[in-house]
Amino acid sequence: MLTTSKLMPQGAGLAPVLLKRAATVELDWDVRQKSRFDATDSQGRQLGVFLPRGTAVRGGDVLVAEDGSLIRVLAAPQDVLRITHCTAHGTPFDLIRAAYHLGNRHVPIELKPDHLKIEPDHVLADMLRAMHLIVTPVAEAFEPEGGAYAAQGHAHGHAHHGHDDHDHDHGHGHAHQHGHPHPHHHDGQDQQQ
């Protein structure tokens, strides 16, 4: 078994030719959020991954093995729910409301300009449909947000922006869902993207 305990976020600093030649390993989010796991790379090598606790591996990251070889991580397609707004009865702002409600429930969520993605959950799917959103089961890569205080700079390359604590509300409020007067049903067959 080949051991790896070093992670290079997004292969930073590596020449593109080295990344192109690197072996790959395709992992779903369930595995990538663990700091210790076994996997098999594209060359058939058994990998034992031992990263610092709390490390999440993202698609595009590079693992460095004990022998110096590089293994580029690919985010594997997995079952997720793709959430889009209803073009007949809503607006793109409905996605912001959905992200707020999902965030209050501490649900891992991937944010995209025109849709959201979460792991399958029929209770949350029903809640989102009641908010007049379209929920479609799909198999796609899942890269949820890391959170405001998770390894800053890792997922999107942003540096810490020295804000004072009084600039942010650290409260944890919960809002309640409100009904809408125009009942209709949304499911994955209403809209495919």
Q: In what order do the strands lie in the sheet with 78-85?
A: 109-111, 116-118, 78-85, 133-140
User: How far apart (Å, rounded) are the C-alpha atoms in residues 7 and 18?
Assistant: 15
| CATH architecture, domain 2-75 | Sandwich (2.60)
Summarize pLDDT for 81-110 with one digit per residue, the tens: 999 999 998 899 999 999 999 999 999 999
Q: 147 pLDDT band (50/70/90 cuts)?
A: low
168 vs 39 pLDDT, higher one = 39
Superfamily of domain covering 77-141: UreE, C-terminal domain (3.30.70.790)
DSSP letter at 16?
H
Which residues have a Cβ under 8 Å from the Cβ of 170 and sit 6 or more positions away? none
Beta strands of the chain (E only): which ranges? 2-8, 23-27, 36-40, 46-50, 62-65, 70-75, 78-85, 109-111, 116-118, 133-140
Residues 6+ apart with CB under 8 A from 156: none
Task: Provide the residue ranges of all domains of the chain, joining segments of one domain with +.
Answer: 2-75, 77-141
With vertex at residue 147, the alpha carbon angle to CA 24 and CA 82, rounded to the nearest 5 degrees, is 65
pLDDT at residue 158 is higher than 60: no
Stretch 5-21: mean pLDDT: 95
Least confident of 36-50, 82-96, 147-161: 147-161
Least Cα distance to 11 among 60, 53, 65, 76 occurs for 60
User: What is the pTM (predicted TM-score) of this model?
Assistant: 0.74
**What is d(CA 36, CA 48) in angstroms, rounded to the nearest whole number?**
8
Give alpha helix (H) positions in 81-151. Answer: 93-104, 122-130
d(CA 15, CA 12): 9
- Residue 27 and residue 73 in contact, taking contact as beta carbons nearer than 8 Å: yes
70 vs 155: which has the higher pLDDT:
70
Q: Tokens 């390993």 sit at which residue?
A: 25
For the chain, give the percent of residues with pLDDT over 70.
Answer: 76
> Which residues contact residue 114 at a Cβ distance below 8 angstroms, ignoring those fewer than 6 apart?
84, 92, 95
